């Protein structure tokens, strides 16, 4: 573990957050490769968060604890789950391994509990839509970590099939870019590419690799492992490049520069440290012009924890830009306090020239550039000042702790701005309403013959009208007209006053109530939106003045045809118990709970059970409360 990466981020942290990172090339610095994800996640853990990373074993030096092709362990407090792949060669995973990782991670992520946010690399492209589906289902933010955007166009003269695949990849990438809430862009070039792809500036945050000043601090007198391995380089001016060897990076110009320097200052050595697709061609070119292993050394990529020794030995660090450059070597040079020699017309050159942290190399013939470098090396005071300015930039504007702190703040803000419970509740309400409309429409169509038959039977046995309309209190305490089937007769006493409900109830009416057939017309209320299939039962307006503030919360949802009090309230003996079940439903509302209540209601009916409104056999709630309040007034 790298000590510098365990430094906590400034500011308070919420220790309850659990963050999931998806990165196929996760490194801790013990092997070559970017430590971008490790640098952030280790700091997040040190600040109190929990982090799980799904990655591959590409580039790892050890593969312990292998179980079923998966490596499970903890690194610097980070829970790591890795898909075992072939040992990494070069700087990138093969397309086949990327696809295998995407399939593996797409399955494994669903088994990780209590995740508060997902941060996913945009490679491979197929992983981002699955991560978006996972984030949507869990109602958590998705953040895309974009380091490069591959070119759209296939190579010139590519076959039709390859051009078609490139077009499909472009469409897939653009579709995937719609999904994340935020983008961590590793460079200004990436931000420009994202804007071209239609991503708004508000969704982008530039998060450069940053300068790990703790890692690259190199105290005077410390033994230098690089110079111990290459003792012939000790005491010589060293121009060092560390990074990827790619076709879009003009390292041939550096090899030609080494040849020119051999003529002007043979004591100067140029070191190219890295790997990539153009490595063999560069070595062959260096041999052809006679500079290989004399003025120019091309060495294998170093593990990140070995880079401080290399840069401490450097007199200046070469910055050779490339397309969508994340400029890792450039930031490492600043962190090491080394002057930067910037090639080409790049933002790195503009920065070091404006801040005095290095020098821009003039475009032109290699000998002219070599003469310029010799003049720079003769100015010891200028080199010292440039190194100090580089260190100042590393400690302030590009400090890794500050950048990681901004990333953490972004993640925490996204989670705070969209509370998971509230998102799930809104989603459940939308799903609930969709189900209400669909079921009520189908139910009214399918059950219309049943309703007609019941209406005729009721008119004959109980009297007219067969349908009754009662005022009830619904969502937000608003009154509405509730449709029901008649279950009582109009029997009166000798004075013409209606008899009590018990005296007006017939066996047919009791059957309607017990079977729940009397509430079938409420499907009309469900369709119009005044009721739902599931919810607290609607009660009369006379009850409302007697509710406690907590009991009024039963009106935070639409009243239902069935509810928790119907399926769990058969043994209740007080209105308070009924209201407690109603409030439990309001607090636990979810689409899944609705489905369970509907299923239990159907099972109760199939077994001949009773789902009549709870409280129907209790005294009226308003009468009970009126008596209580009257007793309190005595």
Give residue-wise pLDDT tens across range 419-463: 777 888 888 899 999 999 999 999 999 999 999 999 999 988 888
Outline where 289-399 has alpha helix (H): 307-313, 328-335, 347-355, 366-378, 380-395
pLDDT for residue 586? 94
Q: Identify each DSSP E strand in 438-583 by its residue range.
A: 467-473, 479-485, 532-534, 560-562
Q: What is the pTM of this model?
A: 0.74
What is the phi/psi pair of residue 500, to 5°?
-60, 160
Helices (H), 32-82: 36-46
Give the residue-averaged pLDDT of 196-222: 88
Helices and strands, counts by H and E, the chain: 23, 19
Q: Virtual CA dihedral for 531, 536, 539, 544, nearest 10 degrees?
A: -110
User: What backbone torsions phi and psi does residue 316 show, to the nearest 5 degrees?
Assistant: -145, 155
Is residue 202 over pLDDT 80? yes
Choice among 346-355, 397-406, 605-614 with the minimum mean pLDDT: 605-614
Query: CA 594, CA 373: separation in Å to the nearest integer?
Result: 75
Residue tagged 């209320």 (tokens): 525
Q: What percent of the chain has pLDDT over 70?
A: 84
Please choose, from the candidates 235, 234, 308, the residue with its C-alpha nearest in 3D space to the C-alpha of residue 273: 308
Backbone phi and psi for residue 606, each to the nearest 5 degrees, phi listed first = -65, -30
Compute the mean pLDDT over every residue in the chain, rounded to the nearest whole number: 84
Alpha-carbon gap, residue 446 to 522, rounded angstroms: 15
Pairing of strands 50-56, 66-67: unpaired
Q: How many residues are recorded in the chain?
A: 634
Query: Going from the N-terminus, what domains does the chain have, and what CATH number goes with each?
Result: 3-210+406-417 (3.40.50.2000), 213-396 (3.40.50.2000), 420-633 (no CATH)
Q: Among 145, 15, 108, 18, which Cα is nearest to 420's? A: 18
- Give the pairing type, strands 479-485 and 467-473: antiparallel
Residue that has been written with the tokens 């935020």 in this structure: 182
Q: With b meaning 16 or more CB within 10 Å and e meaning fewer, what string describes 217-235?
A: eeeeeeeeebbeebeeeee
Give the model's pLDDT for residue 323.
Answer: 66
Q: What is the pLDDT of residue 226?
A: 94
- Distance, CA of 268 to CA of 377 (rounded, Å): 10
Q: Could you give the count of Cα atoms lying within 13 Å of 319 in the half-sphere of its Cβ?
A: 30
Range list of β-strands (E), 517-601: 532-534, 560-562
Where do we find the tokens 């409302």? 544
pLDDT at 615: 54
Please determine, for residue 302, whether its predicted confidence score (pLDDT) is greater than 60.
yes
Torsion of CA 442, 447, 451, 454, to 10 degrees: -160
335: pLDDT strictly greater than 60: yes
HSE-CB for 210 with a 13 A CA cutoff: 27
Q: How confident is the model at residue 2 (pLDDT cuts 50, 70, 90)?
A: very low
Q: Phi and psi (nearest 5°) for 99?
A: -65, -40
Query: Does residue 249 have a pLDDT over 60?
Result: yes
Q: Which of 600, 187, 626, 113 is nearest to 403 (CA)?
A: 187
Listed residue (322, 155, 356) closest to 254, CA to CA: 322
563 three-class SS? coil
Roughly how many angstroms between the first and final C-alpha of the chain, as a whole number? 76
| pLDDT over threshold 80, residue 328 | no
Banded pLDDT at 158 (limits 50, 70, 90): low
Strands (E), 266-339: 269-275, 296-299, 316-319
Separation of alpha carbons 203 and 188, rounded Å: 14
Residue 12: band (very low, low, confident or very high) from pLDDT cuts 50, 70, 90? very low
Region of poorest pLDDT, from 155-159, 301-305, 510-514: 155-159
H or E element at residue 433: helix 420-461
- pLDDT on residue 13: 47
What's the pLDDT tens digit per position in 575-613? 888 999 999 999 999 999 999 999 999 888 888 766 665
What whole-number distance in Å separates Cα of residue 587 and Cα of residue 577? 15
Which stretch of DSSP H or E encloses residue 586?
helix 575-588
Could you tell me which of 547, 563, 548 has the C-alpha nearest to residue 613? Answer: 563
| CB contact at 8 A, 266 and 236 | no
| Residue 379 per-residue DSSP state | -
**Amino acid 580: pLDDT:** 92
Checking if the pLDDT of 499 tops 90, the result is no
Rounded Cα distance, 422 and 434, in Å = 18
Tell me, what's the pLDDT at 439?
A: 96
- Please tell me what DSSP assigns to residue 48: T
Cα 13 to Cα 372: distance, rounded to the nearest angstrom: 50
């Amino acid at each position: 573990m790298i000590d510098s990466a365990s430094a906590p981020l400034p500011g308070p942290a919420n220790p309850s957050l659990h963050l999931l990172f998806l990165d196929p090339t996760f490194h801790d610095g013990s092997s070559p490769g970017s430590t971008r994800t490790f640098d952030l996640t280790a700091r997040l853990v040190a600040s109190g968060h929990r982090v799980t990373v799904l990655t591959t074993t590409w580039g790892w030096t050890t593969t312990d604890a292998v179980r079923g092709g998966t490596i499970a362990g903890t690194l610097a407090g980070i829970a790591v789950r890795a898909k075992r792949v072939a040992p990494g060669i070069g700087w990138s995973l093969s397309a086949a391994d990327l696809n295998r990782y995407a399939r593996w991670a797409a399955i494994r992520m669903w088994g990780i509990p209590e995740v508060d946010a997902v941060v996913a690399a945009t490679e491979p492209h197929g992983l981002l839509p699955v991560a978006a589906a996972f984030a949507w289902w869990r109602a958590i933010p998705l953040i895309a970590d974009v380091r490069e955007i591959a070119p759209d166009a296939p190579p010139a003269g590519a076959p039709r099939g390859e051009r078609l695949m490139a077009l499909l990849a472009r469409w897939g990438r653009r579709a995937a870019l719609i999904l994340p809430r935020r983008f961590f862009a590793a460079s200004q070039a990436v931000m420009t590419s994202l804007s071209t792809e239609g991503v708004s500036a508000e969704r982008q945050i530039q998060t450069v690799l940053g300068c790990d000043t703790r890692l690259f601090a190199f105290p005077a007198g410390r033994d230098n492992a690089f110079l111990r391995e290459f003792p012939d380089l000790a005491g010589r001016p060293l121009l060092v490049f560390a990074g990827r060897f790619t076709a879009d990076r003009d390292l041939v110009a550096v090899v030609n520069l080494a040849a020119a320097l051999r003529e002007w200052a043979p004591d100067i050595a140029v070191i190219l440290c890295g790997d990539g697709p153009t490595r063999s061609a560069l070595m062959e070119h260096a041999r052809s012009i006679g500079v290989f292993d004399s003025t120019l050394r091309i060495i294998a990529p170093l593990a990140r924890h070995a880079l401080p020794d290399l840069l401490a030995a450097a007199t200046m660090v070469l910055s050779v830009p490339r397309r969508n450059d994340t400029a890792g070597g450039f930031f490492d040079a600043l962190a090491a306090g080394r002057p930067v020699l910037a090639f080409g017309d790049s933002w790195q050159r503009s920065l070091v020239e404006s801040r005095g942290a290095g020098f821009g190399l003039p475009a032109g013939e290699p000998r002219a550039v070599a003469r310029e470098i010799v003049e720079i090396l003769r100015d010891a005071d200028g080199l010292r000042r440039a190194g100090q300015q580089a260190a100042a930039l590393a400690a302030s504007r590009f400090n890794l702790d500050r950048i990681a702190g901004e990333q953490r703040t972004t993640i925490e803000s996204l989670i705070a701005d969209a509370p998971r419970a509230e998102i799930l509740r809104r989603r459940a309400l939308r799903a609930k309403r969709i189900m209400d409309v669909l079921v009520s429409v189908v139910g009214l169509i399918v059950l219309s013959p049943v309703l007609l038959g019941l209406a005729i039977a009721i008119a004959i046995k109980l009297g007219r009208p067969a349908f009754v309309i009662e005022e009830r209190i619904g969502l937000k305490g608003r009154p509405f007209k509730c449709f029901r089937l008649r279950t009582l007769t109009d029997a009166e006493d000798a004075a013409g006053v209606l008899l009590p409900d018990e005296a007006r109830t017939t066996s047919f009416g009791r059957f309607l109530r017990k079977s729940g057939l009397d509430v079938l017309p409420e499907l009309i209320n469900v369709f119009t939106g005044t009721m739902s299939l599931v919810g607290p039962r609607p009660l009369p307006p006379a009850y409302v003045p007697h509710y406690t503030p907590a009991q009024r919360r039963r009106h935070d949802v639409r009243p239902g045809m069935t509810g928790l009090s119907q399926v769990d309230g058969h043994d209740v003996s007080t209105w308070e118990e009924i209201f407690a079940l109603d409030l439990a439903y309001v607090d636990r509302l979810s689409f899944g709970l609705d489905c369970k209540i509907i299923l239990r209601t159907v099972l109760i009916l199939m077994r001949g059970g009773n789902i009549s409104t709870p409280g129907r056999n209790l005294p009226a709630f308003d009468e009970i409360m009126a008596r209580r309040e009257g007793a309190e007034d005595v």
